[in-house]
Chains A and B, each alone.
Chain A
């Protein structure tokens, strides 16, 4: 059943490996918990695909050039059960993302929080911040 974006809780699977030091399988191999980054930009694309959703974010740099970042979100099936859809984040939406950078230096990051232009937090805690990270 469709629910208004404004009206419901958003579930994000943060598959933290139950208290052990090992993070969710792919997080530690791909992202660096010691490299947080805050990205402010506009949504180019929002893909609700498995195993992770992906937001393509156009981020203006200090030099005026825009860089496309790929922001990984958690598995979308849980979100969809709460009414989220491919239409929930629209082209041109201005959002701020707090994320962890990819280890390989590409413009890829794993979202910890996503905040909409009106200040509402719509995601929190994506795939597995290792225990011990503040």
Chain B
């Protein structure tokens, strides 16, 4: 009698578990089914996206009525909760290089209007420079406001080129279920990862994953390997949020309006002498 009862109880538990699991699967399926998709079945990543604010390197807002209101972190206001900073496990030599570059922050190529590279073009301070994504069955194109950087990612199973070294490297994408996986290589070794002199060299290799979580959210993950710089891969992750439809990408013409480099003093890598 007790054996039969425990079997029934077990069956009930199993049934409840099954019901729960299938309910959860059904919710997931519904979420997946609710994602906008292109005719080829892949999630539609298109739109204007911005890395969510928070973890911002200091956005200071001064209001017209004199109160200081800081959004997304920074001095004087409520701190935004941003993505955790990645860990950069440098080799001893690369760590020394980084310490040295930190003293030469003016050499950051992005400060000199060069292309930010990957993933830095997406890893811009939150709430500042959006990216427009246009997608078809053969490619996913990222048009970045920052430095008017462009990455057209083919999803046609083509291979990386040879004898090609670029600031943004070369990107080749493929779909892994509902995640766009992008393999980026062929870097020219000139980019920094951020304003804090974290850097990579010509052996950089990145694997990115773009996952449309819901209509207004893309989860972004990047694994950066560089055997001559890091002893372990660097993992980076943050979210992109859809920008309201009344916004548009603006032009960021860094070179054309740049007027700071001419004032750099020679002690800071420039040509001017410091005034007494």
- Co-complex (A, B): yes
Query: Which residues of chain B (233-268) have a CB below 8 Å from chain A?
Result: 246-247, 250-254, 256-261, 263-265, 268
Interface residues of A (CB under 8 A from B): 1, 6-18, 20, 22-26, 28-30, 47, 49-52, 54, 70, 72, 75, 77-78, 80-81, 102-106, 108, 113, 120-125, 128
Q: Is the pair B60, A51 in contact by a Cβ cutoff of 8 Å?
A: no
Q: Which of B58, B61, B69, B275 contacts A105 (CB 8 A)?
A: B275
Shortest distance in angstroms between A25's beta carbon and chain B's nearest beta carbon? Answer: 4
Q: Is the pair A26, B106 in contact by a Cβ cutoff of 8 Å?
A: yes
Q: Is the pair A122, B62 in contact by a Cβ cutoff of 8 Å?
A: yes
Decide: A81 near B110, CB < 8 A? Known: A16-B74, A22-B105, A105-B275: no
Report the Cα distance A26→B265, complex, angstroms: 11
- A30: chain B residues at CB < 8 Å are 260, 263-265, 268, 270
Q: Is the pair A12, B62 in contact by a Cβ cutoff of 8 Å?
A: yes
Any chain A CB within 8 A of the CB of B134? no
Decide: A10 near B61, CB < 8 A? Known: A29-B268, A30-B264, A104-B272: yes
Q: Is the pair A51, B113 in contact by a Cβ cutoff of 8 Å?
A: yes
Report the Cα distance A77→B252, complex, angstroms: 8
- B127: chain A residues at CB < 8 Å are 78
User: How many residue pairs at the A-B interface have CB separations less than 8 Å?
Assistant: 159
Q: Is the pair B256, A124 in contact by a Cβ cutoff of 8 Å?
A: no
Shortest distance in angstroms between B259's beta carbon and chain A's nearest beta carbon? Answer: 7
Interface residues of B (CB under 8 A from A): 57-66, 68-69, 71, 74-75, 85, 102-103, 105-106, 108, 110-111, 113, 125, 127-129, 145, 195-197, 246-247, 250-254, 256-261, 263-265, 268-270, 272-276
Decide: A121 near B66, CB < 8 A? Known: A25-B195, A26-B111, A49-B253: yes
- B273: chain A residues at CB < 8 Å are 104
Q: Is the pair B61, A9 in contact by a Cβ cutoff of 8 Å?
A: yes
Report the Cα distance A25→B268, complex, angstroms: 11
Q: Is the pair B197, A22 in contact by a Cβ cutoff of 8 Å?
A: yes
Q: Is the pair B60, A12 in contact by a Cβ cutoff of 8 Å?
A: yes
Q: Is the pair A29, B74 in contact by a Cβ cutoff of 8 Å?
A: no
Report the Cα distance A125→B58, complex, angstroms: 10
Report the Cα distance A36→B71, complex, angstroms: 26
Q: Is the pair B61, A124 in contact by a Cβ cutoff of 8 Å?
A: yes
Q: Which of A9, A22, A50, A81 has the most CB of B within 10 A?
A: A50
Q: Is the pair A80, B250 in contact by a Cβ cutoff of 8 Å?
A: yes
Q: Is the pair B105, A104 in contact by a Cβ cutoff of 8 Å?
A: no
Q: Is the pair A70, B259 in contact by a Cβ cutoff of 8 Å?
A: yes
28 contacting pairs across A/B (C-beta < 8 A): A9-B62, A13-B125, A15-B195, A18-B196, A22-B102, A25-B108, A25-B111, A25-B195, A26-B106, A30-B264, A49-B257, A50-B254, A51-B254, A52-B260, A54-B259, A77-B129, A102-B263, A102-B275, A103-B268, A103-B275, A104-B265, A104-B270, A104-B274, A108-B263, A120-B65, A120-B66, A121-B62, A124-B62
Decide: A124 near B60, CB < 8 A? Known: A9-B69, A104-B274: yes
Q: Which A-B residue pairs are the 4 nearest by beta carbons? A: A105-B275, A124-B62, A49-B257, A29-B106
